[in-house]
Structures are given as C-alpha cells and as structure tokens.
Amino acid sequence: MKSKYTVLDMFSGAGGLSEGFFQQGFNFVSHIEKNKHARNSLETRAIYHAMKNSNNEEIYRDYISERLNRDEFIQAFNKLELPPLGLLQGEITESSEGSIIENVKNHLKYLDEDSVDVIIGGPPCQAYSLAGRGRKPEEMKTDPRNYLYRHYISFLKYFEPKIFVFENVPGLASANDGCIYSNLHDELKNLDYETEAHLLNAKDFSVLQERQRIIFIGWKNEHRLSYPEFSKNVASRFRVSALLKDLPQLQAGEGTDGPSKYTTFFKQSSRYLQRFNIRQKEDILIQHSARMHNPRDRDIYRTVIKKWDAGRKRLKYDELPPILQTHKNKTSFLDRFKVVDQHGYSHSVVAHLSKDGHHFIHPDINQARSLTVREAARIQSFPDNYKFEGPRIAQFAQIGNAVPPLMAKGIAVEIEKMLKEIL
C-alpha cells in the first residue's frame, strides 16, 4: 500500500482545496493556476508545507514576520534542495493544453511516480453562478468559461486517475438549461468513470459558514466504490463570534497587512480556533487591516447592524433613512448591505468582497467597518499562518473563490479511504 498518494490540482486558485489534501499528506504532482497573485499564494503555501515537513518551518515564520522579503524567502527554499513544487502558471487553452500536460508528465517522472492517483479542482465559476446569470444572462450563456470543464476532461483522459474530485457552484446544475451538467456526466461516463454529484454545505464540515458547493466524485468503473458518507458537523455548537474575539478591534483604515499581535494569549482564544488548528500557539497575526470607509457608509453600517441586533432582520436599501440613500435605483438590488451573523453561521463569502465590503459588515457596531482579510480567511477556515500574496483586492478575491480548507480536508480524508480500498 502506498504511503502517499499523488494528486494533480487544476484551476488551483490560492489553494483552498489543495490545503485539505496537503494536510492529509497527499503528494502533489502539479498545481495549475493562471492568476499571478493566486499562484504566488499557492507557491507560498506549498513552500510552507515543504518546510514544515523538513523541519525548516522557522524560515517560513521569518518570512511572514517580515524578517525576510519574498525573494529571500524563495532563495532560502531553493537552498534546501527539496523537490520542486511543480507549480504551473498559465491559462489552460486548446493551444496550451498539450504543453501543460507534458510539463505535468515530466514532473511526475522527476518525482519517480508512475501515475496520478487523484485529480482535483474546478474551473472558474462566474459563468455558472446564479448571481452572474441574473446580472448578465446573455453574456453568461455564451461565456467561454462555460466550457473550461472540457480541459478537465482532457486531463482525466490523459492521466486516467483512479479517482477525481470536481467542484463548483450549485448553479452549474442549471447553467445553459442543464446542458453543461448533463454533458459533463455523459463525457465522464464515456471515460469509464462512475460518477456521482452531491450538493454539500461547508457548515457540515465544521466551517462556520453557509456555503453550498456541488461536488462530483468519480472513480474508474472497475473499482467497486461508492460516494462517501461524510461525517456530520462536529462544530455545531460554535458560532462566528468564536472567530473574531481574539482579533484586535479596528476602526476604518486601521490595522496592518504585516505582523501584529492578538488581543489575548493562546490559552484564552476560542476552543474552535484551537480544535480546528486555525490558530496555533506559535502563530503571528498577519493581514488584519480594515478598509477605509466614507462617513456615510459607516452610518449605513451602524444602521444595518442596529436593525440586525434588534431582531435579526436584514435592512433593505429603500428602508434606509433618505439622507443615506444615494442610488437612484430603489426597486431592485435592494440587498446591498449585510452584516455577518456573529451568533450563527456567516453567509457565503464570495469574491465580490474584493470590490467592496458592503455585504460583509463586521457585527460590532463600535467598529462599523467591513471584514479584514484575516477575518474573511477565518470564516473560510484558512489557518492564521496562511499568507495571501498580492494587493488586498487580490487577497479578498482569492479567499472568496476558494473551497474552505476544512471542507477540503473532509473530502481528502474520504478520498484517501477510497484509495486504500483499491491500491
């Protein structure tokens, strides 16, 4: 039986899905991502795991503590002479597909592996999302991103993994009147994969967030496997407040992207943070800085928080005091401001957070601001030592596009069990 299983990660993003498989001990052949900032975040995280596994984690801590700059950090990694990471930056297109496959194949040989056990990933979801189709129905219908799944199919066809995991937004099932969903199933069947797709919610994987994703899991027909029965949520007694209370209070514009201090000692941080390894004793707080907000928006935030605190009701735009209403459109898109529920689960963190924070207002009326990068990352269940590269707008987009790592690890645990049955 193999001690480590090989995995190829496509459309990797900043590595939320990868993180779960890293934590479960899978050996990555390659990661493929086109966005520069997301790719750099994934590189930083892959280096962290390589350093941790080789007892060189202090170098990573030097980097996030800003005792090393990024170039020095990369140089320090190269000096360790560990196996290369296999990160490939570039868009998968018809013209690039062949060369990317060759690069993955060469890295497989370098690692002295003869096969890919698992392929994971999911193409960008904007063309499938219900929100996107609601705003631009015709554009989304003809969007070429609808068909990025075909590249995933090509990689399955070439590498023939024993198992694959394909994830996306629930809207995939109804995109283009259900044709994409149906075609995907048909093409997978033609490749001799038995495939099931289920709608899974991140909160059932101990993530403190209502976040549904459609998860396809497929296996070669020759193997007698079945779709996993995932364990029930073991964090149901925890609430979002458990994620926020040890972070320094900030006013709009305060805080820093660099290292700073928590408000309490580790022994006083929440059991949730400790139990799910989001904050560890040696961690350094990073990327906890608040956006600037104009006085009118902060007044709106206080009004929205006050109404939510009084009766857990969302305030619609046309219910704001007239002096705070500046948009002419008062008949549609009224759900423009939303506070995060600290006494329950957060609503789904999405990439739109990169454009403004109106849908992700911190629940503390005294702070009257939107979430920081670290707060959004915690809601997504990213560990505190996970550093996101690029400007803040890119960091928010990476977090919003990611699969929550706790959810990813729950999937990885079951995939490992499936592999043990057949290898």
Contact 371, 362 (CB under 8 A): yes
In this structure, how many other beta carbons lie within 10 angstroms of the beta carbon of residue 271?
11
Nearest to 143 by CA among 353, 36, 135: 135
**Per-residue model confidence (pLDDT) at position 404:** 98
Contact 42, 87 (CB under 8 A): yes
Tell whether the model's pLDDT for residue 389 goes beyond 70: yes
* Segments in 345-387 forming alpha helices (H): 373-379
Nearest to 150 by CA among 12, 280, 10, 322: 10
Tell whether the model's pLDDT for residue 23 goes beyond 80: yes
Q: Enter the pTM of the model.
A: 0.93
**Per-residue model confidence (pLDDT) at position 231:** 83
Strands, E assignment, 156-234: 163-168, 193-201, 212-220
**333 pLDDT band (50/70/90 cuts)?**
confident
The model's pLDDT over 220-253, given as tens digits with 9 standing for 90+, comes to: 999 999 999 998 777 888 999 999 999 999 999 9
d(CA 417, CA 413): 7
Tell whether the model's pLDDT for residue 161 goes beyond 90: yes
Structure tokens at 108: 């497989």
Nearest to 8 by CA among 181, 213, 158, 124: 158
* Segments in 254-355 forming alpha helices (H): 271-275, 295-311
Q: Which residues are catalytic?
A: 125
Average pLDDT over residues 279-290: 95
d(CA 21, CA 405): 9
In this structure, how many other beta carbons lie within 10 angstroms of the beta carbon of residue 349?
26
- pLDDT over 90 for what percent of the chain? 80
Supply the DSSP symbol for 361: B
d(CA 73, CA 63): 6
Taken as a whole, the chain contains a residue count of 423
Structure tokens at 299: 């007044």
**Per-residue model confidence (pLDDT) at position 134:** 43
Mean per-residue pLDDT over the chain, rounded: 91
In this structure, how many other beta carbons lie within 10 angstroms of the beta carbon of residue 246?
18
**133 pLDDT band (50/70/90 cuts)?**
very low
- pLDDT over 70 for what percent of the chain? 93
Beta bridge partners of 196: 217
Between residues 209 and 127, the one the model is more confident about: 209
What domains are there in the chain, each with its CATH number? 6-231+403-422 (3.40.50.150), 241-401 (3.90.120)
